[in-house]
Amino acid sequence: MSEKSIKVFAPASVSNIGPGFDILGFALNEPGDEIVLKKLINSQIEIASITGDGGKLPFDILKNTASVAIKSLMDKYQITDGVSIEVNKKMGLGSGLGSSAASAVGAVFALNELFELNLSKEDLLEHALAGEFVASKAIHADNVAPSLYGGIILIRGYEPIDIIKINTPKDLFCTIIYPDIEIKTSEARAILPKEVPMKSVVTQTGNIAALIYGFATENYSLISRSLKDVIVEPYRSKLITGYDEIKQAALEAGALGCSISGSGPSMFALSNSEEVANRIALETKRVVTNIGLASVTYVSEVNQVGPKILN
């Protein structure tokens, strides 16, 4: 790329991580989005092209997550130069893997590098969240923050936003099972109960605390025991055809645990070796195929760096 343009990759992410509804997430090595930015001699922000979206994403700069994130950043720092945006979707829309978050993160990361703004990731976060807001109509950082920072992330709170990076066990692997099912985030939100029994809250809280401690101490047995969601999974799993069979196949193949990524339909399974992670991918894909669905699987370590510049 020339000095007046830049191409970056921003990773997909797993959010919730079992019991950590809306507060936990981690980045993946694949899939992800590619963003290309080019400086323009005028002062316009324009979307030059979008690929990999099946024609579903808007070219209106006030409605696209990438352009909204860029406009937010340019407005704050009074950047008057123009920029052309290419969005290359390398992951499914509505996959439960933070597709819109990856575009927003890639956009602000690219702009920071292209204009040599020297902003920190903390500085970029609010603008990536502004882009994500266009897609989700709410401020949720459990995809944006992992994609931007890399690693396993805890969002402790939002007023002010408090991002905590958690230790990643050195042999931790993730298998993604993405069946060809469409689930709308609004539908996945609407199905959740408005009230939760105190007993379930206590169980969930214990699992969240133990899961974080398991990551911090690289205690795989504790991670396995804690990767259980008693509040959200029982409802959202009903939206995923063959969920119980897929999860059982993952566990029998050696997974530490298996649950839903974000709103689904993607599922994730954690393991403590690449060999086991690949076996989980093979066995779960076989189950999904037997059900009569197409699917895609990915095997990845936790991405520790977030977005990166591509040559």
- For the question of residue 185 being annotated catalytic, the response is yes
Do 283 and 249 meet the contact criterion of CB atoms below 8 Å apart?
A: yes
Tell how many helices (H) and how many strands (E) occur in the chain: 10, 11
Residue type, 131: G
Q: Strands of 41-172 (E only): list them.
A: 45-51, 82-89, 152-158, 161-166
Give CA–CA dist 136/144, Å, rounded.
Answer: 12
Contacts of 160 (CB under 8 A, 6+ apart): none
Which single residue is written with the structure tokens 């699987």? Answer: 297
Residue type, 287: V
List 185, 233, 284, 297, catalytic entry: 185
List 34, 132, 233, 283, catalytic entry: 132
Give CA–CA dist 120/196, Å, rounded.
Answer: 39
Please give the torsion angle defined by the CA atoms of residues 180, 185, 190 and 195, in that order, rounded to the nearest 10 degrees. Answer: 110
Do 18 and 227 meet the contact criterion of CB atoms below 8 Å apart?
A: yes
- For the question of residue 80 being annotated catalytic, the response is no
Q: What is the DSSP letter of 111?
A: H
Q: 178 - beta bridge partners?
A: 296
Phi-psi region of 109 (alpha: psi -120 to 50; beta: other; left: phi over 0): alpha
- The residue among 181, 206, 172 whose CA lies nearest residue 294 is 181
Do you know the residue count of the chain? 311
Strand 152-158 with 82-89, pairing: unpaired
Give CA–CA dist 210/224, Å, rounded.
Answer: 10
Give the residue numbers marked as catalytic: 132, 185
